[in-house]
Amino acid sequence: MGTALTAVRGKSTRRATSPRSAAKKRKRSPRLKAEALREFGTKLRAWYRRNARDLPWRKTRDPYAILVSELMLQQTQVSRVLDFWHRFLQRFPSLQHLAEAPEGQVLAQWQGLGYYARARNLHALSRRVLREGARAWGDEPSGSVASNDASVGKESSNVSHGTGRDDLRATRPPVAFAADGTPSWLPAEAEKLRRLPGIGAYTAGAVSTFAFERRAALVDTNVARVLARVFAPKLNPKRPRDFTVLWQISEATLPRTGKASWTHNQALMELGALVCTARVKRCEVCPVSRVCRSSETKRTASKRAKSVR
C-alpha cells in the first residue's frame, strides 16, 4: 500500500495527486502528532506497570515458551490457556522435545484447546527448524552451523524417529539468544520468523519483541481496536486496507528501545483486553483518553447535549 504515516515534526513534501485521490489518502492516512504519540506511549506504559495481570509467559524470555503461548492464545481465552500452557511445556519442554515427538502425542496434549492446525503448524515448525537450521527461514548456513551441514541427514533421522536428542543439540547450535541469554533455535527478527510454518505477522512481532526484546510492531484484534479508536476512528480494522494503516500506526507508536517496546506492546494488548474492550469503552478509567480521538468525540457530544438542555 502506498500510504505513509509520519509524526508531524516539520514540513513534508508531497507528490501531486488528483483532488479525489488526495481526499481518499487523507482519509486513510491520519497524521500523527509527535507530542500525542509521546503522551500516548508514556501514559500507556505507566498504566501497564500499575495494572498488568500476572501472566506466566510474561515472566520468561524463552522464545519457544513464548511462541507456544502466542499460538495457544489465538482464538482462546487467557483463563483456558493458563493450564494448557503449563502442561504442554511440562510434556515438551523445548523445541527439540517437540520435534522428536510423534504428531499424535502433540495433538493429544493440545486436546481441549481446539483449532488443531495451530498444534500441527507448531510441530511442523519444530521439525523444520531442527532439520534445516537457518535454512528454514531462508538464511544461508555460516560459521559453526555450516560446519555441521554434514550432520543434517543424521539429524533429520533423529527427529523422525524420536531418538538422538543429545546429538540434535550438539549438531545444531543456537542461532540467537533471547533477552535473558536463553539459547534459541528460532531467529530474533520478525521478518525471518514469518517464513516459518504457522507464524503470521502478529505472532512474528510478538515473539521478536517478547522473547528477544526487539523493537517490533504487532497488531492483533485488541491492538487494532485500541489504535483505531485512539488515532483513527474512521478506520475499520476488518477492512484489509485499513488494517495495513493500523500496522503503520503501531510502528509509529513504538518507543525507541527494544526493552521499552516489550512493555509498550504488552500494554497495548492489556488495554484492549481490560479497558478498551470490544463491548465496552471504559473511557473514564482509560490512561490515554486525553489523546484519544474517540474519547474526544464522546466528550464533545456530551457537551453539546448538555448545552441543548
- Which active-site residues does the annotation give? 70
Q: Which amino acid is at 307?
A: S
As a whole number of angstroms, the distance between CA 288 and CA 281 comes to 12
Instruction: Give the distance, in angstroms, between the CA of residue 74 and the centroid of all CA atoms in the same chain.
Output: 11
DSSP 3-state assignment of 290?
helix
Question: Can you spell out the DSSP letters for 67-136?
Answer: HHHHHHHTTS-HHHHHHHHHHHHHHS-SHHHHHHS-HHHHHHHHTTS--THHHHHHHHHHHHHHHHGGGG
Give the other-Cβ count within 10 Å of 220's Cβ: 20
Count Cβ atoms within 10 A of the Cβ of residue 289 and give its class: 0-12 exposed, 13-18 middle, 19 or more buried: buried
Q: Which amino acid is at 254?
A: L
